[in-house]
Every structure is written in C-alpha cells, then in structure tokens.
Amino acid sequence: MSLISRAELNGARRVVVKVGSSSISGENAGKIDSLVDALAQAHARGTEVVLVSSGAIATGMPYLRLDERPTDLATQQAAAAVGQNVLVYRYQDALRQYGIVAGQVLLTAGDFDDPTHRSNARRAMERLLGLRILPIVNENDTVATHEIRFGDNDRLAALVSRLIGADALVLLSDIACLYTRPPSEPGARPIEKVAFDDDLSAYEFGATVVNSVGTGGAATKASAARLAAEGGVAALVTSIDLASDVLAGADVGTWFEANPAPILPQGTGAIGVA
C-alpha cells in the first residue's frame, strides 16, 4: 500500500531506492558506505529494501583505462561486465558488517514486456525479500542493445517499484530536491510536493545528460517519479547525502503523491503487475 506522507517512510513495508552513477563512482565511490548505512538502518527496522544501482559502466571504466564514458555499444558492454562485478562486491563488502547479504538482479526492457519474464522477475525478488536478502537491481548492460534499453535507471526503478508493489520509490542524486527551473537560474524555487494530478509542463527541469559517467538529471527523475505515482507508488526525489534522513521519515526532498486509483496497463511504458 502506498504511503501518504514522507513521515511514513520510517515504518514502510517495502521501499525501492535508486542511486545514480555519479553519486557512487569516481570521487564519490566512498558514498557507497554511507548509503549502505542508511539501507541497513531501514532493513533493521523491518523494511524490505530493493536497491536499484547505476554505476556498472562508470565503475568498469578505470579497469579498461577509459577516461570518459564509451559511446560504442561493445565497449559499454565490456565496461559493464567488469564494473558490475566490482560494484556488487563493494556493496557486499559494506553490507557485511550488518550481516546483510546482497542478491544481484539484472534486467532488460524486454523482461518487462514479456509476461513470463516479468512474472519470473517479480517472483525472484519476492523470494529474495522473503529471505531478508537485499536485491541490487541494474540494467543488464552486457546484453542490452540501444533499441531495447530503459534509457536510464530512474525509469527502471519506477518499473521495479510497480512490479513488486512497493510502498514508495526514493530517487537519490546530488540535489536535495527538484526545482521549478535549474537551481542556478534566477527565480528557481524548490518543489516540496507534487499532487498525483499536477501539471508539470510549466517547470523547466533541464538537460538529461549530466556528466561524463552517467545519464539522468532532474527531468528523468520527475518523469520516473510520475510513472511510479501513476501506478500507485509514492515517490521522493532527494540527495544521496540525505538517504538516512529520508528513510527515517524526515521532511526533505520533493514528494510525489501516489495516484489513489492506480493505472495498471501492461507493457514497459507503464507496467502492470499481472
């Protein structure tokens, strides 16, 4: 059942948390530890946590001696193959002190379009959560093609949150909340709450490519939050530095209210749960 307010995150039954490449790779790789601390605190309170983590390609780049994100598909796949292994190891190493075991789940857009694959993915994650395992979800970059990619992991996280019937989706990045226009511009105002039927067309969320290691940005987060909310999952956008506060129910970030009458059609664009 979706949450009504941020404060309810403290006692949520099931939460999907998404973190972007730039927040946990390169000079920010050390933030994995603080993120895991926040997830472990929620786990200890009894919340079932699913982590959707970008960063496989960015993490693999140094091992391939690459200075910037590759543009050709084959090199992206190679970097992802190496980086995913290292990334999951880093998470598991940080989780070890809490006695929490991670489980890797790699998905493609086709898995959400195919009813059998979709059912299998949901069943696997339900079982992992039932065993108190922390699923770490990412796009299967090693086999995905340009034509069948999610586009960004914000969208993947929204689809996962709807697939498993999460109470809330938390999208973590490098900003504390969304703004009515890029925060560097005059007149930008923080957005505290978005009702499920609010018109966002007047807001200027800016470009989607944010740096040399990942894609995303305010526009994709707003779109993903709205996608989750349409399916009955409340969503919150905030900074990775506030992860512990958010999961404890603090009044931070931009809150997207869930649709009280969820839209549940089939397919990748707005996933159903059949």
Per the CB < 8 A criterion, the answer to whether 60 and 84 are in contact is yes
- The three-state secondary structure class of 269 is coil
Is 141 annotated to bind a ligand? Reply is yes
Residue 34 in marked binding region: no
- The token duo for 8 is 């309810």
Whether residue 18 is annotated as binding a ligand: the answer is yes
How many CB atoms within 10 Å of residue 231?
A: 26
* 125, containing H or E segment: helix 115-130
174 belongs to an annotated ligand binding site? yes
Residue 136 contacts by C-beta under 8 Å, 6 or more apart in sequence?
Answer: 51, 52, 53, 88, 91, 102, 103, 104, 105
CA angle 154, 83, 126 (to 5 degrees): 50
44-62 per-residue burial string, b: 16 or more CB within 10 A, e: under 16: eeebbbbbbbbbbbbbbbe
Annotated binding site for substrate: 54, 141, 153
Residue list for the binding site: 18, 54, 141, 153, 173-174
- Which residues fall in the annotated binding site for ATP? 18, 173-174
